[in-house]
Structure 1
Amino acid sequence: MNPSQCFHCGNEIVEKDRIVFEAKSFCCNGCKTVYEIFSQNDLTCYYDFQSAPGATPLDIKGKYDFLANEAIVNQLLDFQENTTAIVSLYIPHIHCSSCIWILENLQKLQPGIIASQVNFPNKKVRITYHSEKTHLKAIVELLCSIGYEPYISLENFGESKKRVDRSLIYKLGVAFFSFGNIMLLSFPEYFEVGEFWIEQYKDFFRWLIFALSLPAFIYSASGYYVAAWKSLKQGLLNIEIPIALGIVVMFIRSTVDIIFGFGQGFFDSMCGLIFFMLLGKLFQQKTYDFLSFERDYKSYFPIAITKILPDGQEEAIQVYDIKKGDRLLIRNQELIPVDGILISEKASIDYSFVTGEAVPIEKESGDKIFAGGKQLGKLIEMEVLFSVSQSYLTQLWSNDVFQKKVEQKHKSITDKVSHYFTPALLLLAVLSFGYWIFIDVSTAFNVFTAILIVACPCALALTAPFTLGNVLRIMGNRKLYLKNAIVIEQLAKVDTIVFDKTGTITTNKKTSITYEGEILNDFELKLIKNALRGSNHPLSRRLYDYLPPQELVGVSHFEEIIGKGVIAELEGGTVKLGSSQFLQHMSEATHKKTKVHVEINGVYKGSYVFNNQYRQGLEQLFEELAKKYELVVLSGDNDGERKILEKMLPPSTHLVFNQKPEQKLVYIDSLQQQGKNVLMVGDGLNDAGALAQSNVGISISENVNVFSPACDGILDAGQFSKIAFFLRYSKNAMLIIYMSFGLSLLYNVVGLSYAVTGNLLPIVAAIIMPLSTITIVSFVTLMSNVFAAKK
């Protein structure tokens, strides 16, 4: 560490203000205090990730007193239930791995903070805290004391418009103004016109050109200087360094030419370079927006919720059609998609998706219930307070708790190339300059500048995100909604596919149901229908739809045991529905068919027999997949349909029956122990554990709002037969990335060979650089669409 720099923030130390503590120098008492805080709490690892990563803490005495007002705090909170509260704070200073590390260890600095998660791209930290042990004001003051003051503005909450950053447009306009006027004033010297008035005013025009270049040099190119300076301060070499160096070299060289009368310099080339680079950056930004990387929340959730109509009828609607004042029916294990008021007498809600705490919270009629909770037990009714938050459900799905730790190969390739590219580029530029300086000074400067400009790895760095972003968009249009781009890479590696049976390879829409046993009277049918009303199991939903409409009956107790059945206590009796083992009833034919057995008030009545209808295109899909993948059907049902499946599916398909949810998880784990990359395709209820354990988990969605944050994607049931296409397309996506890497490297090799030999002018390099970016982005977009069009 440089002794003239502050150990904490890296700023230059004024000697009279120097503070020495534990043999370390600090620029002020604030930085020293932050170091002491970290040292006392055994958090000095903060300084190991990055040299001088901190910021000088500011005096904020009284600034956040408004956070003592509960009404204001309630507007800022994302979630508040009992003693658990969650807040998301925007922190502009987040910039490196040290920031992430310290902000995710806040619980060590202040009692009451339960957990904190950093969203690095958005510079946000999501803090979960115990509202009786600490409060928001104390947390904000802690963040300020360690140099991470949050930006809090109540204008940002509620229905606010997204601010548009127009700085790039302004810089581009200034650069174009300078470039155009300088080119116009340079024409006489370009054409060597020798008129008297031009010769007389030549110096005036040259200094006018110098003045016109200053706005572009100082303002338009400022982003490159700032980025290069920050990179150097952190001891890194990013691509902005050679760009900034090239601009500064051209400006100094041109100024020297004017002062000593050597010529008018390269101000036109410099301003043209800045203009074309900013134009390329604007193109990247617009293309990025077009690809919708921050995809609309509707894309993620092709799921429905049951709305109660004014006449008492039930209707399944899409979650984004929910409006304020709607009355919703929430079944067992269903996600509450919106904030609302509980209408039913009581409810038991699991907020583990939001808080990580699995202990259910009891609610009573009139209480507020928050989006993200999962209803447990009997069905409830609620009235909607707000429509679906555009980001909240997506935030739940993307919660770090449910992320699978996978290697991002494409990202590491980009990082490695960028890491070695810049120092290699600088070395080549210096060596070429050293060679040409002894031959031709003017050419030496041109070569030096052209190398720094033409060999920009921007196109290289954009390859993976643009390809995967476009592939995500195309898959979304075809109704496979993936959590993030990493899932595409994981799909490309899959070699084993495991399918659930009920509700996955069988359809909920077309099922023949027959009843075997004692004839049921109208009252018993009413009890069964009302008992099924709260269940989300695929067989329960099919049987509920099959039974004729019945009068509603109050349910005093409801329990659904995953993989076994349901118990419901109603007005008039107790109903048990489920497997024969669950009802402790065995018959000779039990193991031959899929059945739901019925017991009312302790008396066995009979069973509903399901003659499953398999999804359209199942045989063709398995036949195609069997050529490249190991296939498994993993079912919780008995093996009554083994012979049917053996006839329908390829001989190599493994059929495994009578698997409880925990056994499915163990089975997938055993495959992974053998080195297999497993794709699990199932429903979101019984298969949640297996979906989480697999390398990629895809949940099939029909019209049931069973939300599993453990899944990596949601597939519309109508697209089931296209699974082979999605797998092939993911492999093609990775192929596109490698092809565009090759194209970008080829461009750099050709460009550098011309630059080194002195045959490439800086202005031409400046035009070629954004064109290379346009070429790469166009290539990956075109290729991803071409592969998508292939059958």
Structure 2
Amino acid sequence: MDTENCFHCGNEIIKKDEIVFDEKKFCCNGCKTVYEIFSQNDLTCYYDFQAAPGATPQDIQGKYDFLDNEEIGTKLLEFQERSTHIVSLYIPHIHCSSCIWILENLQKLQPGINASQVNFGEKKVRITFNPEQTSLKDIVYLLSSIGYEPYISLENFDEGKKKIDRTLIYKIGVAFFCFGNIMLLSFPEYFEVEEYWIDQYRGFFRWLIFGLSLPTFIYSASGYYVSAWKSMKSGLLNIDIPIALGIVVMFIRSTVDIIFDFGQGFFDSMAGLIFFMLLGKLFQQKTYDFLSFERDYKSYFPIAITKVLPNGEEESVQVYDIQKGDRLLIRNQELIPVDGILISEKASIDYSFVTGEAVPIEKKSGDKVFAGGKQMGKVIEMEVLFSVSQSYLTQLWSNDVFQKRVAQQHKNITDRISRYFTPALLILAIVSFIYWIFIDVQTAFNVFTAILIVACPCALALTAPFTLGNVLRILGNRKLYLKNALVIEQLAKVDTIVFDKTGTITTNKKTAITYEGTELNASELRLLKNVLRGSNHPLSRRLYDFIPNQEKVETTSFEEIIGKGIFAEIEGNTVKLGSSQFLKTMTENTHKKTKVHVEINGVYKGSYVFNNQYRKGLEQLFDDLSKHYNLVVLSGDNDGERSILEKMLPAKTTLVFNQKPEQKLQYIEQLQKEGKNVMMVGDGLNDAGALAQSNLGLSISENVNVFSPACDGILDATQFDKIGFYMRYSKNAMKTIYMSFGLSLLYNVVGLSYAVTGKLDPIVAAIIMPLSTITIVSFVTILTNLYASKK
């Protein structure tokens, strides 16, 4: 009797429960309702990605009423501000492309959901919604109604997401047990022992071997069958198809041998094949887990934060040393690294890192402020509620809003090879089988199976992610922190490097500062010190450290205009600091030096003159880079130091001065129009736009908690002179990928040539397959470490 399957979930329909709607058959009202929802919202192309991709919705009436409790709901939220709430939910049912598609289109199903983003590897969906239009409970019910009920456990919410799946271990255990026993029972056959007991019990032993092979064939190899079947249903050809075909052919051939007494079959080879392939899969899985772990815990932000000590003194500490209860000082443009309570009277917070919308939110003393916000305006203090969440900061940095779309050359190569690999492999196996069947039937089956197994492209698929993952780890250890693996490829393509001057090629330390003008009294120095306390500009920070300690005073208002200066009101006085153009009450001095001019209550007082100290190794770095790259120094300062830089830097270096932030961006844009691949190296303050515009933006971090969300990498300032090494290393990393591609393809060519000629047994092919993966991983690890050790 023909069975019919549900259009939505694919489950078999029991005749009495059958529901017909829109000329389609469903197993229950839940599946029909989901189809109706999709149909009404013009989302029926959900079913185009895969036949019957959905899950049967469960009746959950009342199950999530606890989410009405605001205190409980708040614990699940990552971010909570007026019209924007963000929650990450673990959805165990995510399993295919159609799942991703529907979960990233939730805004079409429910008003109030602004965006949703799926992390397929972790089976999580991150949902941004407006609490005035929908609620967390409504979202959970929506997900459940379309077959994606989230897993929520308030006691072990985090642990629940990290449950270890031991299925692969169990399958390997079963395969190993059966393989060992089949080998043991096959010894008399191997040695052709013809004693009476063997002749008498040969049939019994063969059927016992057949019985032992079943758990391996049915359970241990089940993943290959499921993957192959789904692939064929989707109209695609993945690599599991030839593997599953090879296993099935060996099983059928061996069963036929036993039934008709042709021999003992190949059950030992089949069990060994499955065992070694699962070992290879375990190795691959562990490799990916290793890369994921390294990415989570090693690629941290090298930023520092100012901690206010109990005695009122301030010290700069690493962001990961922050503990609950600490008191933090947040300056203008600084990132808030942790959730906390605002202590200062009021604050203006820009949450564009989190929401993508740069609309400052006003906060009052006692309000909660969230990690990822950027302080706008005068300096504030806050008390820490939680220690820093590294994964949350990485997530903010990797926000899609700030991603640059770059080509993945290595991925394109892998995709192109994979697209043609499986069809070519199947054709080769079939042609070889047809050729050998007329010569020797047994050899024909061996050749067919060996070809399907030996050419598994696991090593090919693993070479790029493992190489780039290892390179990310090595660069992280050397204090260059890249946003993701794609940046390495982009780094290797750069042909033009643009450097900002102040705070990038000059250092914040060891700078001689002198004052020219009317001497400032103690009261004026106190005003100046307290105004500078709120700024993060490299010159402001240097000047703040230069002026002696003063009594702390609260500023009434504070405004920092990027590229120009600061205007502040404090104790009834107005203070202006900045460039000569910003302070229009004085005339430009003819001496062209880096200066910060001072005006108090409309009266020009004088200027602080900075004799810039250039970073150690600058001349050698530019000499090395000039051999391979076009170099540009782009500065917002006047050209007072042009003559110094011309003597220090190679003659080919382009020097451009008096550039406002928008002009820097336009300059980068012009270079790109000329076909240049541009890397911008800046401090992330005055050059945020240029960093975003460039093909690759590198932000220099020198003990400040400021960086541009659009930068692709953060470099610890102490490693500035190593930029040349990083550039060479990225090129060598890409070279390693192409070399390992070649090695993997060479392995396949050699393996296939032996398999086609009948000189390779299936069991040997199964052993070689995981060994090839181990070889590739070892090759790229040794080579990337070798390149890293070169001076």
Q: Is the 8 A contact 1:700 1:714 kept in 2?
A: yes
Give me the whole-angstrom Cα distance separating, in 2, the residues matched to 1:164 and 1:25: 37
- Secondary structure of the residue aligned to 2:599 is strand
- Name the SS of the counterpart of 1:582 in structure 2: coil
CA deviation digits over 1:293-325, x for unaligned, max 9? 552456321110001111111110000000111
**In 2, Cα distance between the equivalents of 1:146 and 1:424?**
39
Shift of residue 718, structure 1, vs aligned partner: 0.9
Structure 2 distance, partners of 1:359, 1:667, is: 28
Give the C-alpha shift of residue 114 in structure 1.
Answer: 1.6
Quote the residue 2:519 is aligned against. Answer: 519
- For 1:416-427, what aligned pairs fall within 5 Å after superposition? 416-427=416-427
Question: Once the 2 structures are TM-superposed, how far is the Cα of residue 171 of structure 1 from its aligned partner?
Answer: 2.0
User: Aligned pairs, how many?
Assistant: 790
Paired residue secondary structure (1:148):
coil
- Provide the residue aligned with 1:246 in structure 2: 246
Map 1:148-163 onto structure 2 (within 5 A).
Answer: 148-157=148-157, 162-163=162-163
1:708-748 Cα shifts (integer Å, max 9, x gaps): 22111100111111111111111111111111111111111
Question: Secondary structure, in 3 states, of the residue corresponding to 1:201?
Answer: helix
Q: Distance in 2 between matches of 1:649 and 1:3?
A: 79
What one-letter code is carried by the residue in structure 1 that aligns with 2:708? S
- Percent identical pairs in the alignment equals 83
Q: Aligned AA for 2:784?
A: S
Q: Secondary structure at the match of 1:71?
A: helix
CA contact (8 A) 1:292 1:473 kept: no
Question: Which residue does 2:463 correspond to in 1?
Answer: 463
**Partner of residue 350, structure 2:** 350
**Structure 1 counterpart of 2:273, one-letter code:** L
Offset of residue 47 of structure 1: 4.3
| Match of residue 166 from structure 2 | 166
Deviations 1:475-500 (A, max 9, x none): 11111000100001111111111111
The separation in 2 between residues aligned to 1:548 and 1:67, in whole angstroms, is 54
Q: Please list the CA deviations of residues 415-442 of structure 1 after superposition, one character each: whole Å capped at 9, or x if unmatched.
A: 2211211111111111211222222221
- Per the alignment, residue 480 of structure 1 pairs with 480
Change in CA separation of 1:355 and 1:290 when aligned onto 2, cut-off 3 Å: closer
Aligned CA RMSD, in angstroms, stands at 2.1
Deviates more, 1:48-57 or 1:143-152: 48-57
CA distance in 2, matches of 1:211, 1:748: 34
Specify the alignment match of 1:73 in structure 2: 73
User: Which position in structure 1 is the counterpart of 2:403?
Assistant: 403
Mapped contact 2:298–2:476 kept (Cα < 8 A): no
CA drift of 1:169 comes to 2.2
Cα distance, 1:595 vs structure 2: 0.5
Equivalent residue, structure 1, for 2:564: 564
How far 1:757 moved relative to its partner?
1.3
2:534 aligned partner: 534
Q: In the alignment, what sits opposite 2:690?
A: 690
Counterpart in the other structure of 1:655: 655
- Is the partner of 1:555 in helix, strand or coil? coil
- State which drifts further: 466-475 or 355-364: 355-364
The letter for the 1-side match of 2:603 is V
Quote the Cα distance in structure 2 between the aligned partners of 1:752 and 1:346.
Answer: 71
What whole-Å deviation, never above 9, does each CA across 1:228-265 have from its counterpart, x for those lacking one? 22222222211111111111221222122222222211
The equivalent residue for 1:145 is 145
C-alpha displacement of 1:162: 4.0
Residue 100 (structure 1) shift:
3.0
Q: Give the corresponding residue for 1:83.
A: 83
Instruction: Tell me if structure 2 keeps the 8 A contact 1:297–1:394.
Output: no
CA separation in 2, counterparts of 1:221 and 1:97? 23
Letter in 1 for 2:318: Q
Q: Which secondary structure does the structure 2 equivalent of 1:214 belong to? A: helix
Moved more, 149-158 or 477-486: 149-158
Q: Distance in 1 between matches of 2:209 and 2:45?
A: 52
Q: Distance in 1 between matches of 2:735 and 2:455?
A: 24
Partner letter of residue 164 of structure 2? V
Q: 2:281 — aligned with what?
A: 281
| Farther off after superposition, 199-208 or 14-23 | 14-23
Relative to structure 1, is the Cα distance of residues 610 and 462 closer, same or farther in structure 2, using a 3 angstrom cutoff?
Answer: same
Distance (whole Å) between structure 2 residues aligned to residue 249 and residue 382 of structure 1: 68
SS in structure 1 at match of 2:272 = helix
Question: Which residue of structure 2 lines up, in the alignment, with residue 681 of structure 1?
Answer: 681
Secondary structure of 1:366's counterpart equals coil
* Counterpart Cα distance in 2 of 1:50 and 1:217: 26
The 8 Å contact of residues 297 and 393 in structure 1, kept in 2 or not, is answered as no
Partner of residue 712, structure 2: 712
Q: Match of 2:724, as an amino acid?
A: A
How far apart are the structure 1 equivalents of 2:91 and 2:52?
18
CA contact (8 A) 1:594 1:640 kept: yes
SS in 2 for 1:581: coil
2:128 counterpart of 1:128: yes
Q: Alpha carbons of 1:160 and 1:420: their partners in 2 closer, same or farther (altered >3 Å)? A: closer
CA distance in 2, matches of 1:691, 1:21: 55
Check the 8 A contact 1:293/1:469 in 2, yes or no: no
Match of 2:702 in 1: 702
Shift in CA distance, 528/381, structure 1 to aligned 2, threshold 3 Å: same
SS at match of 1:391: helix
What residue identity is the alignment partner of 1:560? E
Unaligned runs of at least 5 residues, structure 2 = none
Shift of 1:45: 4.2
- In structure 2, the residue matched to 1:305 is 305
Q: Distance in 2 between matches of 1:96 and 1:197?
A: 54
Letter in 2 for 1:564: K
**2:543 aligned with 1:543:** yes
**Could you tell me whether the CA contact under 8 Å between 2:566 and 2:576 is conserved in 1?**
yes
* TM-score for the superposition, normalised by structure 2: 0.96
* Deviates most, 158-167 or 300-309: 158-167
Q: Partner letter of residue 124 of structure 2? A: K
Displacement after TM superposition at 1:14 (Å): 6.5
Query: Could you tell me which residue of structure 2 aligns to residue 216 of structure 1?
Result: 216
Paired position in structure 2 for 1:448 = 448
Q: Which moved more, 1:365-374 or 1:351-360?
A: 351-360
Name the structure 1 match of 2:339. 339
Please say if 1:187 is aligned against 2:187: yes
Matched, 1:387 2:382: no
**Which shows bigger deviation, 480-489 or 223-232?**
223-232
| Separation in structure 1 between the aligned mates of residue 501 and residue 585 of structure 2, nearest angstrom | 23
Q: What's the TM-score once normalised by structure 1's chain length?
A: 0.96
Tell me how far apart the structure 2 counterparts of residues 783 and 371 of structure 1 sit (CA, whole Å). 39
Distance in 2 (CA, whole Å) between partners of 1:98 and 1:475 is 36
Retained in 2: the 8 A contact 1:591–1:638? no
**Structure 1 runs not aligned, ≥5 long:** none
Aligned-partner SS, 2:513: strand
Partners of 1:158 and 1:24 in 2: how far apart? 40
Deviation, 1:215, is 2.3
Mapped partners of 2:341, 2:650: distance in 1: 52
Q: In 2, distance between residues paired with 1:45 and 1:542?
A: 59
**1:74, CA displacement in angstroms?**
1.4
Query: What is the CA distance between 1:108 and its match in structure 2?
Result: 2.1
